[in-house]
Amino acid sequence: MAEKRKYVQRRTAKPKDTLGTIKRIFKYIMSFRLQMFLVFGLIIVSVAASVASAYFLKPLINDYILPLVGIENPDFGNFIGMIAVMAIVYYSGALSSFIYSRIMVTVSTGTLCKMRMELFAHLQKMPIQYYDTNSHGDVMSRFTNDTDMLRQMLSMTLPQAIQSILSLIITSVIMFSLNFWLTMIVYGMTAVIVFCIFMVTRRGHRYFREVQSAMADLNGYAEEMIEGQRVVKVFCREEIIKEGFRDINDRLRIAGQTSQGSSVVLMPMAANLSYVTYAIVAAVGASMALSGALDIGTIASFLEYSRTFSRPITQLSNQFNYIMSALAGAERVFALLDTPTEVDEGNVTLVYANKDENGEMVESEKRTGKWAWKVPQEDGSSKLVELKGDVRFENVVFGYVPNKTVLNDISLYAKPGQKIAFVGSTGAGKTTITNLINRFYDVPDGKIRYDGININKIKKADLRRSLGVVLQDTNLFTGTVMDNIRYGKLDASDEECIAAAKLANADSFIRKLPKGYDTILEGNGGNLSQGQRQLINIARAAVADPPVLILDEATSSIDTRTEQLIQTGMDQLMEGRTTFIIAHRLSTVRSSNAIMVLENGRIIERGDHESLIAEKGKYYQLYTGALELE
């Protein structure tokens, strides 16, 4: 129910700078300058053809129709010629509209392709904290729903808006040239139409952002509940989650109803007012014709222009909901693009290295099995520090949110090649320690040193490249089993991947799959058991051959028999490497060089298995079953 409240009670952000959003959209569009110039030229041709076709009514009536009235054998040659000219003009306008519409499809899809690439690339630079605090469904909604609304606006609404504005300008000039007073009548009625549109849209404007927000929540909720269907069914919560979905869906319905309701009346309202304008112009024009102030051709042409003048306004009012929805979606996309990315001020890099005849570390271009930190010096040179795997925490204090610490004054060390285990109840801070080693979060107080180097000075990519991580939650990607193992080292050969699988004791079950190592895994390896997925996860870490390992509940999803099978392989994998182990099964940490018992973010006991048993403290109680890990 807490999750339900989180979605339902979410507040809608206030509308942002619409003009600024439009400017940013046009920056993307202008990467297609040549196409847009061509589109603009074709729109001018289309508008000119539309305006000219109405102007032809005046000479057609005055010069070609009225002179033929009453003649016994009229000559229709000139009349047919005029009709042919009008047909050519109409065809030119229609062809121009067809061509620029096709070009705008290319521009819109290309613009969104570029925007999605920037969005995805930006997400790769986001800190882990962003993913921990934002719904995956909300993030996905920006890729799908928000960008799709923008595509519709770029491919359809934008060219129509340009065409409508040009049509208004050209039509105004011609109407003034035909008759000033009739034009002022049209302008007066247009002002009434615009005022009515403004009054209607004022109320509905803020609801378009609410629609996008509610859609994101709906996607997030649906994704979360579909992913957790096993848990839902185990606890018989189908009706409860239906209620949660109904609440969010109703919020989306109400927002959509309000926003669409305020915009759907615009077109009929504008159309009906344009009919009133047409009737007034016709009545005034007829009276002027009767008085001899206007000829029939001018009246016919002007009446057509009065319709032409109101049509763009009607079209813009009809497209208003698409424009507002697209701008709301664009604001959400740009908000994500404007979210600060992960800060990395490190300048120490990881390089392959070897020792020369003098025992000095020298950089190598090829993998040598040895690594070194390349530390820049003040004089511009670089110093190589051998990567040994010496990791030390010095008075580290950390909290995920202000004023609530998770780790309190943590100090510990792991000498090269040592196995350090962390045990304790859930929430004690075990995983947080490994998150800090990875620099998923930076330490606000205290220091973490890696081979004597403050990890804040090491580039994050190089730091993480030195660490092999096996997490409790397995993540397998769509592709073959071989591809998933090779994910740990993209240039690994098939033989290296198979050797890693054998090390993790995954080779036997992989070969029994329908296509062995070429079996396609989909849906996070849904066709495998949890234990099999974890074995592949371990093989992925093994093939990377990292100098430091982090095993976060690596065997939690594996049964006792399978755990025994891979223990030897894990020992081989950990041989000579500094290893941090988090485990609920205390049998897996007995061989550790040091065991840290955490409680409320503090290390309350430390030592090897024998010494901690001898102390008969918290670890002794956990190991003997007097206490249980929660």
- Structural domain includes residue 59: yes
* Residue 590 or residue 419, greater confidence: 419
**Residue 476, exposed/middle/buried by CB under 10 A (0-12, 13-18, 19+)?**
buried
- Structural domain includes residue 459: yes
- Maximum average pLDDT range among 355-359, 454-458, 488-492: 454-458
Residue ranges making up the domain that contains 550: 391-624
Q: CB neighbours of 170 closer than 8 A, spacing ≥ 6?
A: 47, 48, 51
| pLDDT value of position 390 | 92
Q: Quick check: 185 and 277 in contact, CB under 8 A? A: yes
Residue 498: which pLDDT band, with cuts at 50, 70 and 90? very high
Whole-model pTM: value is 0.71
Are 471 and 455 part of one and the same domain?
Answer: yes
Cα(67)–Cα(50) distance, integer angstroms? 26
Are 397 and 419 part of one and the same domain?
Answer: yes
Are 308 and 364 part of one and the same domain?
Answer: no
DSSP 3-state of 298: helix
Are 377 and 255 part of one and the same domain?
Answer: no
- Structural domain includes residue 9: no
Residue pointed to by tokens 């003997």? 624
Residue 457: which pLDDT band, with cuts at 50, 70 and 90? very high
Are 454 and 538 part of one and the same domain?
Answer: yes
Residue pointed to by tokens 């008075």? 395
Are 327 and 359 part of one and the same domain?
Answer: no
Are 376 and 520 part of one and the same domain?
Answer: no
- Structural domains counted in the chain: 3
Of 337, 372, 404, which residue sits at a domain end?
A: 337
| pLDDT value of position 263 | 60
Residue pointed to by tokens 């790769």? 124
DSSP 3-state of 608: coil
Cα(135)–Cα(332) distance, integer angstroms? 14
Would you give the distance in Å from CA 61 to the centre of its chain?
59
Q: Which phi and psi angles does 552 have, rounded to 5°?
A: -95, 95
CA dihedral 565, 571, 573, 579 (to 10 degrees): 130
Are 324 and 425 part of one and the same domain?
Answer: no
- Structural domain includes residue 206: yes
**Residue 337, exposed/middle/buried by CB under 10 A (0-12, 13-18, 19+)?**
middle
- Structural domain includes residue 27: yes
- Maximum average pLDDT range among 69-83, 462-476, 593-607: 593-607
Task: Encode pLDDT of 204-215 as tens digits.
Answer: 555 666 776 777
| pLDDT value of position 623 | 79
447 has a pLDDT exceeding 90: yes
Question: How many angstroms separate the first and last alpha carbons of the chain?
Answer: 23
231 has a pLDDT exceeding 70: no
- Structural domain includes residue 630: no
Q: What percent of the chain has pLDDT over 90?
A: 12
11 has a pLDDT exceeding 50: no
> Tell me, what CATH number does 469's domain have?
3.40.50.300
Cα 40-45-48 angle, rounded to 5 deg: 120
201 has a pLDDT exceeding 70: no
- Structural domain includes residue 348: no
Beta strand 594-599 with 578-582: parallel, antiparallel or unpaired? Answer: unpaired
Question: What mean pLDDT is reported for the chain?
Answer: 80
Average pLDDT over residues 262-282: 74
Which residue in 602, 543, 610, 594 sits closest to 573, CA to CA?
543
Are 374 and 402 part of one and the same domain?
Answer: no
| pLDDT value of position 208 | 65
| pLDDT value of position 590 | 81
Are 156 and 181 part of one and the same domain?
Answer: yes
Are 378 and 298 part of one and the same domain?
Answer: no
Which residue in 580, 554, 574, 578 sits closest to 410, CA to CA?
580
Average pLDDT over residues 457-464: 91
Are 361 and 272 part of one and the same domain?
Answer: no
> Tell me, what CATH number does 306's domain have?
1.20.1560.10
- Structural domain includes residue 466: yes
**Residue 595, exposed/middle/buried by CB under 10 A (0-12, 13-18, 19+)?**
buried
Cα(251)–Cα(257) distance, integer angstroms? 10
Q: How many helices (H) and strands (E) does the chain have?
A: 25, 16
| pLDDT value of position 482 | 93
| pLDDT value of position 560 | 67
Q: Quick check: 501 and 556 in contact, CB under 8 A? A: no
| pLDDT value of position 281 | 81
Q: Which amino acid is at 552?
A: D
Q: Quick check: 517 and 481 in contact, CB under 8 A? A: yes
470 has a pLDDT exceeding 50: yes
Average pLDDT over residues 440-448: 90
